[in-house]
Amino acid sequence: MEKTLLLGLCVTVGLLSVHADHTDKGVVQAFTGNSTILECLAKGARMTDSTGVYWTRMDLKSPQYVFFYKNGHSDTTHQDSRYTNRVELAWPNLENNNLSLIIHNVSATDNGTFKCMLIQGGTSRANTFDVPPIRTLELIVNDLSKELDEEFIENNHVAWYIQAIVGFFFVAAIAALLFFFQRLHAHYNKSSQSERNHAQEE
């Protein structure tokens, strides 16, 4: 009885160590047309030749998935068509317990929540949805052209304000110079007239 309890405890601890990050959630920002990495590490997991990784999305229903890799190769049997030839492992053969996924040519349709699942030994594709995810990531895709347009517009507004301010001070400086020369000319005329008047009186 004690041996059974001890064995059960060891198995439980082992499972917890493998899936210790199953509540780990994060947000990934990406731009359209670029590549992005969805990071996922199987900390504490014992990796074997039959170890695999299963990437899916919250909005996909079985048997569809984003990426499925096991026994040294990827399986595209039920891969969502949106990810055909667009996804690959960040680390070949899951080296260093790294299950991270690269998505190429990111588009707005990639917005969503992704789940990374570690597949061990006898776990088949059919029951992967029963495996708790190691990590859940929300991918937010930003429109790069829109970002650049907004930045361009904002920069133009800043440039316009600078030009307006410079123009205002330039006009003000010209007006001040004109006013100064007018006063100087008036003073000179007044001085000349006073000298002439003084000369006539003599």
pLDDT, tens digit (0-9, with 9 covering 90-100), for 55-92: 999 999 888 999 999 888 999 999 999 999 999 999 98
| CATH number of this structure's domain 2-142 | 2.60.40.10
**C-alpha distance across the termini of the chain, in Å:** 138
- For 183-199, b/e burial (b = at least 16 CB within 10 A) is eeeeeeeeeeeeeeeee
pLDDT at 159 (0 to 100):
62
pLDDT, tens digit (0-9, with 9 covering 90-100), for 148-162: 555 554 655 566 667
Q: Which two tokens mark 129?
A: 């949805």
The predicted model scores a pTM of: 0.61
User: Which has more confidence, 2 or 133?
Assistant: 133
pLDDT, tens digit (0-9, with 9 covering 90-100), for 88-134: 999 988 989 999 999 999 999 999 999 999 988 765 555 665 788 99
pLDDT, tens digit (0-9, with 9 covering 90-100), for 159-201: 666 777 877 777 788 878 877 777 777 766 766 666 666 666 6
User: Which has more confidence, 50 or 166?
Assistant: 50
Residues 6 or more apart whose CB falls under 8 angstroms from that of 134 comprise 19, 21, 22, 24, 40, 41, 42, 99, 116, 117, 118
